[in-house]
Amino acid sequence: MIDIIKNNKTCFPFLVLIAMMGTISFGQVPSPQKQKFERILFQNGTAHIGNGKMIANASVAIEKGKILFVRNALTYQLDETDWDTIISIKGKHIYPGFIGANLTMGLTEIDAVRATRDFQETGTINPNVRSLIAFNTDSKVMYTVRTNGVLVTQSTPRGGLISGTSSVMALDGWNWEDAAYKADDGIHMNWPRKHQSTGWWAEPGESKENKKYNETIKRIYDFFEESAAYAKNKSPEQPLLKLDAMRGIFDGSQRVYIHADYAPEINDIVDFSRHFKLAHTVIVGGYDADLVADRLKENKIAIMLGRPHSLPKFEDDLTYAVFHKAKRLQQSGVEYCIQAAGDMEVMNARNIPFLAGTAWAYGLTEEEAVASVSLNVARILGVDERIGSLEKGKDATLFVSDGNALDMRSNNVTIAMVKGNFIVLDNHQMQLSDKYHERYGLE
């Protein structure tokens, strides 16, 4: 139980406070809450800032939904009259909200039910497809994810050569307009492979050359050349939706997320980025990124590293090869973050803290691991001025855990805030657990 030391409006324990903020009916998703407190102070917890630093006995102050300061509580003189709510988190940990990059969160509910999948359109070149307006704030899956500290996602379309435009969304809000942190942050592309695998994961076959590789690459170059020429005309007589959607790439306001894993394709992507003078190129996946790290660093290309809980892609790789990749990118100075895309990615997004925990166990420091799912992600997505760390002026999108949030044995989120509002940490899985524990008299 987390106690309110001082609250001018109520004197109840924090969990009772949360219950007063909104009633949840069984089977329904929690309603977004309206903030009732203007000046809030979290006191005496371990603050993991997100930028590589940690404060053991921290005071984290929030005013009107923004972080006012983060200080050492031992050196800060507390005047109780300054705050309408003071919450003791002694012995607990406070983190910036973790960010799930490159996910179909809010765009799918049940992978096996086609009617609940809204992340892919027909056709191969669809930069004008926007995940923003398809984002479903009533997704039940979303509420199971945020109870582990993942409070923001990059809602991302799939399919084709150019899948569409992603947006950075908070996992709280009445609708997509409420949830949007950054609308249309970038275009997603699927770079073709030079060699294609045969067989399946249990019995992989030989690798064969992709004879259509050069043809596909030419198609990509041609579309970008056309888009670059179109972008120079600020007021075309006949606007073209697909070309209009590409403008932000050439004026630097949007990212280009290129999905690729292997060194031959990554080298071609670097050449492609240089050719079009792209300001913000991000490679998603990047299995071989550590092998070409110097070139990536030189060209300021960031990596969204595929989830560490994956099998090695080559027979000669060590079984724990994927676990080390974050450390190698950290050492090389390449900008990177960890993402969880893959099989059942939306449901598995709750494990993002533990992906960072694995990277911590295999070479990163604890605070570097925290940064890999918080501030590093925010920087790559271009939202680091608002979220990603516990720093003055940023949104109070954060959470408190009883123990270390990167360890599945101790991650237990008891308080969370999104955009300065407390959120209800309940979901249908918790409700079912409570229901059957009560039915069978389990503790």
- pLDDT, position 27: 56
**Confidence check: pLDDT of 15 > 80:** no
In a domain? residue 402? no
Cα(312)–Cα(318) distance, rounded to whole angstroms? 7
71 and 121 part of one domain: no
Enclosing domain of residue 292 = 103-387
222 and 323 part of one domain: yes
Higher pLDDT, residue 35 or 311: 311
376 and 418 part of one domain: no
323 and 199 part of one domain: yes
Q: For the chain, what is the domain count?
A: 2
pTM of the full predicted structure?
A: 0.91
194 and 304 part of one domain: yes
For residues 373 and 95, is the Cβ–Cβ distance under 8 A? no
84 and 128 part of one domain: no
Higher pLDDT, residue 410 or 21: 410
Write out pLDDT tens, residues 425-439: 988 888 888 889 988
CATH number at residue 49: 2.30.40.10
- pLDDT, position 109: 85
- pLDDT, position 3: 57
Write out pLDDT tens, residues 377-417: 999 999 999 999 999 999 999 999 999 999 999 999 999 99
**% of residues, the chain, pLDDT over 70:** 93
87 and 133 part of one domain: no
CATH number at residue 141: 3.20.20.140
161 and 247 part of one domain: yes
- pLDDT, position 6: 60
- pLDDT, position 319: 86
In a domain? residue 310? yes
In a domain? residue 215? yes
- pLDDT, position 393: 96
Quote the mean pLDDT of the chain. 89
Chain centroid to CA 411: 18
